[in-house]
């Protein structure tokens, strides 16, 4: 049981975590902090949080666990402002979609408290944002990746693991570097491609007709281009060292495809499509 949970950034992810823990009776009191009081009042009205904190000092007071759930680009400033108010024994965790830069920011800001920071990332979400989209079941049967460092306190990591398990998630651990590479390919790259495709199509003169006649392919492929632009700008910038080589590799592979189509080379196309289909059908086991 968590006595006092503080959520910094009561949006889709922070709000869903609070809802899940409340629903299961795993938390006594939830405090929320954000920039916009109206959003926090909405969260109180929805029963997601009990109180809104006006300052980070107030947010940190007597908290057992502080969950930082703001866009990745805002995490360093939150860590810096949060640290002076933290009490002994308070565990800090985050949900940021990129881990290496978040850990560096935590090291710089938290100092001696760094062992009580447990980096995390739930592999769950939707293209919607804000507390209105939060859902108590968002993490059920989903994965949460924790990327503890050698200095991370074992009991702190165990507490964060237990918290996520209480939401119905499966918790796994890996290094932050591995996380950022895996997520660059499985999440960050697809988002870039979806944004790029919609942006390309919308510049066409007949784009209205294209959107009006869009069926499964366009809808499925571009759903994630409805995701929050600030969040994705921050992820791109934070993980650029990993993401740029993947974007370049994708561009090269598109070159192969263009050449095959141009040359009418059905053999190359069939081989490529069959290999991709086989891989997707066999490797994407939890396709929901």
The DSSP code sequence of 145-196 is EE---TTS-HHHHHHHHHHHHTTTPEEEE--HHHHHHHHIIIIIHHHHHHHH
For the CB of residue 202, give the shortest distance to ligand NAP in the complex, in Å: 23
DSSP class of residue 87? P
- Per CB under 6 A, the segment of 70-78, 194-202, 244-252, 268-276 that binds ligand NAP is 70-78
Instruction: Check residue 6 for interaction with ligand NAP (CB under 6 A).
Output: no
Instruction: Check residue 231 for interaction with ligand NAP (CB under 6 A).
Output: yes
List the strands of the sheet with 91-94, edge to edge: 51-52, 27-33, 2-8, 65-68, 91-94, 117-118
Rounded Cα gap, residues 75 and 143, in angstroms? 22
For the CB of residue 193, give the shortest distance to ligand NAP in the complex, in Å: 16
115 vs 125, beta carbon nearer ligand NAP: 125
- Three-state SS sequence of 205-263: CCHHHHHHCCCHHHHHHHHHHHCCHHHHHHHHHHCHHHHHHHHHHHHHHHHHHHHHHHC
Rounded Cα gap, residues 274 and 268, in angstroms? 10
Among 90, 93, 97, 167, binds ligand NAP (CB under 6 A): 97
Contacting ligand NAP within 105-134 (CB under 6 A): 121-122, 125, 129-130
Instruction: Check residue 34 for interaction with ligand NAP (CB under 6 A).
Output: yes
DSSP class of residue 83? G
Among 2, 4, 9, 144, binds ligand NAP (CB under 6 A): 9
Instruction: Check residue 95 for interaction with ligand NAP (CB under 6 A).
Output: yes
| Residue window 174-213: x/- pattern of binding to ligand NAP, with contact defined by CB under 6 A | ----------------------------------------
Rounded Cα gap, residues 161 and 43, in angstroms? 25
Instruction: Check residue 17 for interaction with ligand NAP (CB under 6 A).
Output: no
Instruction: Check residue 71 for interaction with ligand NAP (CB under 6 A).
Output: yes
Instruction: Check residue 96 for interaction with ligand NAP (CB under 6 A).
Output: yes
Assess contact for 214 and 206: CB atoms under 8 A. Answer: no
Rounded Cα gap, residues 223 and 285, in angstroms? 21
For the CB of residue 274, give the shortest distance to ligand NAP in the complex, in Å: 32
Which residues sit at the interface with ligand NAP, rule CB under 6 A? 9-14, 34-36, 39, 69-72, 74, 78, 95-97, 121-122, 125, 129-130, 228, 231, 235
């Amino acid at each position: 049981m968590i006595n006092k949970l503080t959520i910094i950034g009561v949006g889709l992810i922070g709000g869903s975590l609070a809802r899940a823990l409340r629903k299961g009776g795993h938390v006594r009191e939830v405090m929320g902090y954000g920039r916009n009081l109206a959003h926090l009042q909405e969260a109180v009205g929805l029963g997601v949080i009990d109180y809104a904190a006006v300052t980070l000092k107030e947010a940190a007071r007597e908290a057992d666990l502080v969950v930082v759930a703001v866009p990745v680009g805002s995490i360093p400033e939150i860590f810096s402002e949060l640290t002076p108010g933290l009490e002994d024994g308070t565990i800090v965790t985050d949900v940021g979609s990129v881990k290496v830069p978040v850990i560096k920011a935590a090291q710089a800001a938290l100092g001696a408290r760094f062992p009580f920071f447990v980096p995390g990332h739930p592999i769950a979400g939707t293209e919607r944002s804000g507390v209105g989209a939060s859902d108590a079941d968002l993490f059920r049967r989903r994965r949460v990746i924790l990327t503890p460092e050698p200095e991370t306190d074992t009991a702190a990591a165990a507490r964060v693991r237990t918290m996520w398990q209480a939401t119905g998630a499966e918790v796994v651990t890996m290094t932050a570097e591995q996380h950022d590479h895996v997520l660059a390919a499985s999440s960050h790259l697809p988002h870039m491609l979806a944004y790029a495709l919609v942006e390309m199509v919308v510049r066409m003169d007949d784009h209205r007709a294209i959107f009006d006649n869009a069926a499964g392919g366009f809808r499925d492929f571009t759903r994630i281009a409805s995701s929050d632009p600030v969040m994705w700008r921050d992820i791109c910038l934070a993980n650029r060292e990993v993401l740029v080589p993947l974007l370049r590799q994708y561009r090269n592979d598109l070159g192969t495809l263009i050449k095959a189509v141009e040359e009418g080379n059905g053999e190359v196309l069939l081989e490529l499509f069959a290999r991709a289909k086989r891989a997707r059908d066999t490797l994407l086991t939890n396709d929901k």
